Structure 1
Amino acid sequence: MCFALLTVSSFAVLANCDRIKVNGEHNWFDVSYRVNSHAPLQGLAVDLANRVFAEVGIEVNYQAMVPWKRQFLQLETGDLDVIIAAFYNQQRGNKFVYSEAIGVEYSTAFIHKEHSDTYRGAESLVGKRGLQLLGSSFGDQFDSYAKQNLTISKMADLDRAIKLIALKRADYFLYATHGGRLKIAETEFADMLVDMQPSISKQQIFMVMSKSSSCLEHLDEINQAIRRHRDDF
C-alpha cells in the first residue's frame, strides 16, 4: 500500500481543537458496533479511541448513528472529524487523512456449512450469489476483482445477511473474519455457517480524519498515542 501519513503542516488549521466529533461503523462486530440504532457505539476501536484522545487531551463527542457511506460524506464536508476505524482504499485515501494503523483485520466469505467443500478461495465465488454490507471495502485488489467477476448484493443489516446465508437464499457473505465468527456464534445459526479459507483479504485498520478538521493540529500526538496503545486492540 503506497500512501503517506500526512502531518498537520499539509493543511491550514482554522481553529483550535478542544472537542472532536467522532463516529464509526455500527455493524463491524467487536471493532465498532451498536446493539441497536439508539445504543452507544462500542467495541475495540471505541476503547482505543477513548484512550488516545484522553491522552492527547481532546474531549470526544460521539455522534448519533448514521449510515456508513454518509459518515464519509460528513468527513468530506467537515461535519465529522474522525471515523474511528476503517480500511484504506485509493478513493478514500485521496479524500481523507489516515492515522497510523491501529490494527489488522482479515476478511472472508461466510457460507453454509453444507457447501463448504465447494469453496476454495475467491475464484470459487464466481457465479454464486454474494452479499456484503453497504459501504464495505476489502481493499482495492479484491474490490476490483469483485466488481469485474462477482455478483454481490449490498445490504444494510448484518443480522439479515447472516439469516439469508443460513436459509440458502444467498451463497456467501463477505465480512471480517473474527467479528463474523463472534457475531454468528450469538445467533440461532451458529451451527449452520462457516467461514471460507483462505481469507479474501488482510487489511490494516486506521482512524480516518477530515481534511478540514481543526483537530489535525494534533495528528502527530494522536499517532504517538496510537503507537502506545494499539497493542491492546
Structure 2
Amino acid sequence: MARAWLLAVLLSCGAAQAAPAVRYCDYPVYPPISWSDGKQVRGLAPTVVKAVFASLGLDVEVVVLGNWKRCLMDAAQGRVDVVLAYRTPEREATLAFAEMPVLREEVAVFYNRQRPLQVDKLEDLKRYRGGLLFGESYGDAFDQIVARAGNIEWVSDSRQNFGKLIRGRIDFIPYERRTGLLYIEHLPGGGDLRALPLTLAVDHLRLAVSRHSPLAARMAEIDAELQRLTNSGEIERWLAESEATYRDMIVQPESRP
C-alpha cells in the first residue's frame, strides 16, 4: 500500500512538472518595455508576463521571432499563447485582451532636425515618407491614412528604421515617445533626431491571449492580477527599474538593442 501511495505521488508530481509552459512571444526592440541583452529578453513586458502567470502557478517560455508581425501571426494561430500589444478590432478577432492595461503609451512622430517636417495634424504625414516595423499599428485613423497614401517603408528592426531616418532615406517614424527618446539617447547619429509635439495616438499596451489557448478562459484571473500589480505600484516600479537598467547596459556595446 505504501509503495502504491508513493508511486501515485511521484506520478502526480511528474504530471505537474510536465505541464507545458505559457509561450510568450516578444520582439525585443522596445526599451524599456522589452529588449535583448544578447542572452535573454529583459524589460517591463517579460517581467509583467512572468509575474501574472506565476500567480496562476504557470511558468513562462519566452519566444523570440524574426519580427513583430510573426509574433502576432503565431498568437492568432495558437502557436504561442501570449503577446503584449495594442488592442484593435482586427486583433480582437483572434486575441482575447485583458481589460486592465499594463501601460499607457503616447505615440509620437520622430524626425531628423536636419530635415524638419511641417506637420500639424495626422493628414500632413501623407506628404512624407515614413518607416514602420512589420505588424505595427497605431490606431484605425493612422492605419487608414497609411494604407491610402502608400508612403510607408516596412522593416523588421528598429535600428534599421532609425538608421534610415538618420541617413535621410525616410522622413519620419511613428514610435512610442518614451521608448523612442530612450532608444536614441546612445544611438550613433541619434543626436539629430527629435520628436514632434504632435501626439498621433494615446493607447494602452495590454496582455493578449490567443483565442486558441486554454488561457483565454482565465482572463478574469489575469485581469485581477494585473489590477493588483497596478494598485501595488509594482508595474510603475518595474518600469523605472527597466529604464535604469537599459541606460546602464547601453553604455557597453551590445549585440542587439
Using structure 1 for the length normalisation, give the TM-score. 0.84
Counterpart Cα distance in 2 of 1:134 and 1:124: 22
Shift of 1:93: 1.0
Higher relative contact order (CA 8 A, sep 6+): 1
Give the 5 Å matches for 1:90-169: 90-100=89-99, 101-116=101-116, 118-149=118-149, 151-169=151-169
SS at match of 1:33: strand
* Contact kept in structure 2, 1:95 and 1:211, CA below 8 Å: yes
The count of corresponding residues between Structure 1 and Structure 2 is 215
Closer, same or farther in 2 for the Cα pair 1:57/1:148, shift >3 Å? same
Shift of 1:214: 1.7
* Contact kept in structure 2, 1:128 and 1:172, CA below 8 Å: yes
Residue among 22, 25, 28 paired with 2:27: 25
Percent sequence identity over matched residues?
A: 21
**Is residue 208 of structure 2 the alignment partner of residue 208 of structure 1?**
yes
CA RMSD, Structure 1 to Structure 2 (Å): 2.0
Per-residue CA deviation, residues 183-212 of structure 1 (Å, 9 max, x unaligned), is 001212232000112111111111111112
Gaps of 5+ in 2: 1-18, 237-257
Counterpart Cα distance in 2 of 1:121 and 1:47: 36
Shift of 1:117: 5.8
Aligned partner of 2:94: which letter? K
Gaps of 5+ in 1: 1-16
Per-residue CA deviation, residues 49-78 of structure 1 (Å, 9 max, x unaligned), is 122111221111112434221222222222
Closer, same or farther in 2 for the Cα pair 1:78/1:126, shift >3 Å? closer
Shift of 1:111: 0.3
Counterpart Cα distance in 2 of 1:74 and 1:54: 23
- The structure having more radius of gyration, on CA atoms, is 2
Using structure 2 for the length normalisation, give the TM-score. 0.77
Aligned partner of 1:70: which letter? R
Could you tell me which residue of structure 1 aligns to residue 249 of structure 2?
Answer: none
SS at match of 1:126: helix
